[in-house]
A and B are shown apart, each in its own frame.
Chain A
Amino acid sequence: MNINSVMVIDDSEPDQFLAKIIIRKFDSNIEIFQAYDGQEALENLGKLSKPPDIIFLDINMPRMNGHEFLEVYDTWEEQSVVVVMLTSSDQERDKEKSMSHRCVKKYFTKPLDLSGLNSLSAS
């Protein structure tokens, strides 16, 4: 798949920075949107004229966490966006719960690396 834009949803500024660096390293032309929790992400997604190709989604966040985001986002009609979980949790329950949503395609544990992005690009 062609990756032209991504949205990173993570409350941690260091992780946002880290993700940005890796994505830039992978392809400096990819447009990156940032959201610091699920609620902010939903607000931003609603404003975008064209949705991003990939959403990197963390789980533990203030206000609205990753699971809660997916509950809402799953009800949205347009489902062209690929959601990739990007979290520090390697717990099975988190993985199972996330992967149960049809929009979620991959489950990455932090940190994001180039091989992960390559695999997404190749899929």
Chain B
Amino acid sequence: MKISRITKLSGFVCIVLSITTLSFVFLMDFSIKKERRYVQRQLKFRQLGHGLGQASDFLTREARRYTIFGDKRHYNAYWKEVNETRTRDKIVERLKALGATPLELELIQTAKANSDALIATEDRAMKAVARGDLEYARTLMFDENYDRDKAIIMEPIDEFQRVISIRADNEAEQARHQASVFLWVTNAIIFLYVSLVLVILYFVFLRKMSRPLDSLTRAIDQVAAGKVGTAIPCLGMKNEMGQLANAAEAFKASLVKNQTFAIRLKKHRDELEQTVVARTKDLTAANNELEEFSYRTSHDLRSPLVSSIGLLSITEELIRSDDNDGALESLAYAQKSLQTLEILVTDILSLARAKGETEEESVIDLQALISDSLSKFSCMDHFERLEIQQDLRFLGTLSAKKSRATLIVENLISNALKYQDLAKDNPFIKITTYREGNTFRLEVCDNGLGVPKNQQENLFKMFRRFHPRTSFGSGLGLYMMKKSADILGGEISFEDLGDGSLFRLEIPLTE
């Protein structure tokens, strides 16, 4: 149940209890006042009963004095009381007005009727005084009959006093009892009130609010401090604490999300920085390569041309001096120089083509490619010396850009041919293809001149030549192979066999 609902309900119950308590206090007060009223009425009734007796005694006294002393004042006083003051009538009326019971009224009226009966006797006695018959008058007023009738008047009055005492006692007792009941109920309600307040304090404020709020505050502090692994308490509570816990959980989730996002952002930034560094490195390398390329081409293009011009000039001089052998030798060198130029131009053009090439991949017939390359170089010097070994174990389908694959295969074969060790009797070239895992491998190994150890790190750089006298290449062959392998998505590597070289081309196979 929600705390606000419990609080509202508690407030309502407290108001009801307060009203009830006040009502009972009021009722108790009413009962106490009623008891007092009964006691006072009893007193009043007692006085009225006594007053009736006194009024009767007053009449007896005045009548007797008149019969004794014959003083007219007594006579007047007597009749003034009977006709004007009418104390006894007024007492009866007063009792009626004060709510006397019929029994009580009857007793009082009986007493009055008895008193009235005496008035006749007293009237006769006072008339006897007026006639001068004092003896008769005194007899009437003082004989046994008069005393008996007088005593009869007091009997109902005594009875009245007894009755009203009993009634008053009962009523007062009843009112006292009521008051004590109300007092007890009031005490019970106050006890209930206090208990309820204590229960509310314990249940609502301590159990439902104070403790959960304390644990929730501590958890939120921990989460805010960055410890997002902290469990949020009170999540199952179906009240405001539960709502607060849900909000804290959402806050935590948001924080975790933000932290994850920040981590991803940082990772992304780091990756981006790494990419920038790598790209910058690539660009710098490409720029340096381009600079080197520009420098070397300008030199290497110019060099054979300058040589050729010089040689042709020499040739001319030699012809003029009839040195034909010398002229022929000079011409041969000029030719060689121009051949170098041609090879260089061809390689440069090939490189330029490769950069702008958008060739589609096609299925490579490796057997045919290797055979064609071998036959292409079959007319070159020393080809026939080479023992050609083939171990073509790759039987799958290789899809690649054909011109690049051809360039690599041809360069590998021509290198093995050009840089064979002429001092050896058994020069060979071994071409192997096979598959390892998901990689196609082409290996070309020979027992040729190899690559000097101190030059191996520069093997695939542009314009590198490693064999003086024997080199007739542009120095771009291995560089072009490396670039072609890159284009094929593969890699080319070199292994120094000690007595020869092994070049390995690896291309990942796509299913």
Contacts and interface: CB of A to CB of B under 8 A. Distances in A.
Contacts of A110: 303, 306-307, 310
A88 B302 contact: yes
Interface string B6-48: 0000000000000000000000000000000000000000000
B468 A36 contact: yes
A15 interface: yes
A12 to B, nearest CB: 7
Describe A's contact surface by its main secondary structure.
loop
B465 A17 contact: no
Interface in B207-241: none
A37 to B, nearest CB: 4
A111 interface: yes
Contacts of A91: 295, 298-299
B162 interface: no
Contact of A88 (B299, B452, B463): B299
Contacts of B467: 62-63
A64 B67 CA distance: 184
Looking at A12, A15, A18, the one whose CB has the most chain B CB atoms below 10 A away is A18
Nearest to B464: A62
Contacts of B336: 13-14
B329 interface: yes
B471 A18 contact: no
A88 B306 CA distance: 8
Contact of B314 (A18, A39, A63): A18
A40 B468 contact: yes
Looking at A40, A59, A60, the one whose CB has the most chain B CB atoms below 10 A away is A60
A18 B317 CA distance: 13
Interface residues of B, number: 33
Contact of A11 (B296, B329, B468): B468
Contacts of B455: 63
Contacts of B333: 13-14, 17-18
Interface in B266-318: 295-296, 298-300, 302-304, 306-311, 314
Contacts, number: 79
A111 to B, nearest CB: 4
A13 B334 CA distance: 10
A14 B311 contact: yes
B468 to A, nearest CB: 4
B469 interface: yes
A39 B469 CA distance: 13
B469 A36 contact: yes
B466 interface: yes
A62 B471 contact: yes
A109 B151 CA distance: 180
Interface in A51-81: 59-63
Nearest to B296: A60
B452 A21 contact: no
A36 B469 CA distance: 6
B465 A14 contact: no
Contact of B307 (A37, A59, A60, A111): A111
Given A18-B314, A36-B468, A62-B471, A89 B306 contact: no
B414 interface: no
A20 B138 CA distance: 206
Interface string B469-503: 10100010000000000000000000000000000
6 contacts: A14-B333, A37-B468, A60-B299, A63-B452, A88-B302, A110-B303
List the 5 shortest-distance A-B pairs measured between CB atoms, nearest first.
A36-B468, A88-B303, A62-B465, A111-B310, A14-B333
